[in-house]
Amino acid sequence: MDMRDVDLNLLVALEALLSQRSVTRAAQQLGLSQPAMSAALARLRTLFNDPLLLRTARGMLPTAKGVELAAPVKQVLDEIGRIVSQAGVFDPARAEVTFTITASDYVEFTILPRLVDHLEARAPGCRLAVRPISFATLPEQLERGEVDLAVVSATNAPENTRLRPLYPEWFVCAVRRGHPRATKQVTLDEFCALEHVLISPSGGAFVAQTDAALAALGRSRSVRLSVPHFLLIPEILARSDMMAVVPERLARAHADRLHIMEVPFELPPFTIAQVWHERTHRDPARVWLRQALADLMEKDGATLSRIPRQHKRSRRGDRRATQAV
């Protein structure tokens, strides 16, 4: 028997016939006419090559084959019903799912502590795998399902992906506490005179978005050190007289060691967003993860302390915002 030739509705009819032992009552149970139920019984007899139900003085009685089919048919229909009823439902308290996220170390630092706490409290059976960001391979990772969610600058989102903003971010200047230039506001001349450490996740770059903005003003800075990880910056600044341009949340997290100032020229902010592929767009577990992360960062934004912003901030994002500054 080829399963492609089997109409599953016939199994629903068979279960009703075997439980009701009456064509009339089975038809009423399923909301069918009696002729339609009789036709279904005829097809079932052909399918199983057995009468299945016989008319007797005491009504319809199942044959041995009918008795044999009753339990497995009910089990199959119950299982199908369970699958259908659970479609679109995700119970984090009982789920055992592994989520895979990719992000820069700055974004990991910002979101992961909150997300891990949330998973432990709400989804204790779920696991979280965090992968380093690779912009070159990100589209393929999302498409192949190797990564469920990328958390990146919105303008770095690959084409043909879904996107949901998480939070806005601004750049600030940071130096160590006690630095000779640890004043209320660094001037453009002071900024350009200092030596800088630059974040270049791809490695080796000594020119970045900050330098492009300075070049537009006819100015330049001296970049002494280029490092691939944001989280190295606080350690380097604390031990030197260098300056860095970093995301505000990163600087604020190390405010006990770093003095934070406004960037003395226009440097566009950027938006961190969660990005995913269409293949996981409707998956209940991934929908829950994305909503949980959005809720967590909304609460974070509501409590984030703000530094004074003396000059006008642009609201445009920049494609290079979280790659090199």
Give 165-195 pLDDT, tens digit per residue.
999 999 999 999 999 989 889 999 999 999 9
Q: Backbone phi, then psi, for 265, in 5-degree steps?
A: -155, 170
Joined together, the tokens standing for residue 59 give 């009504």
% of the chain with per-residue pLDDT over 90: 74
Tens-place pLDDT, residues 265-319: 999 999 999 999 999 999 999 999 999 999 999 987 644 444 444 433 333 333 3
Q: Residue 86: what pLDDT? A: 59
Give the pLDDT confidence score for residue 204 in this predicted structure.
85
The whole-number pLDDT of residue 77 equals: 86
Whole-number pLDDT of residue 319: 38
- Separation of alpha carbons 44 and 49, rounded Å: 8
The pTM (predicted TM-score) of the whole model is: 0.69
User: How far is residue 150's CA from residue 84's CA, in Å, rounded to a whole number?
Assistant: 30
d(Cα 262, Cα 280) in Å, to the nearest integer?
A: 40
CA 218/CA 272 separation, integer angstroms = 30
Region 182-210: mean pLDDT is 92
What three-state secondary structure class fits 58? coil
Minimum mean pLDDT range among 12-16, 160-164, 294-298, 314-318: 314-318
Mean pLDDT of 44-59: 90
Angstrom distance (rounded) from CA 148 to CA 100: 5
Question: Is the pLDDT reported for residue 196 higher than 80?
Answer: yes
- Please write the tens of the pLDDT for every residue from 222-279: 999 999 999 999 999 999 999 999 999 999 999 999 999 999 999 999 999 999 999 9
| Structural domains for the chain | 3-86 (1.10.10.10), 98-167+271-303 (3.40.190.10), 171-268 (3.40.190.10)
Instruction: Please report which residue ranges of the chain form alpha helices under DSSP H.
Output: 8-20, 23-30, 34-48, 64-86, 105-122, 138-144, 188-193, 209-216, 233-238, 248-253, 284-303
Is-contact 288 90, C-beta < 8 A? yes
Angle between helix 64-86 and 8-20 (nearest 10) = 120
Q: Which residues contact 288 (CB under 8 A, 6 or more apart)?
A: 90, 92
Q: How far, in Å, are 241, 248, 320 from residue 195 at the CA level?
A: 8, 20, 21
In this prediction, residue 154 carries a pLDDT of 95
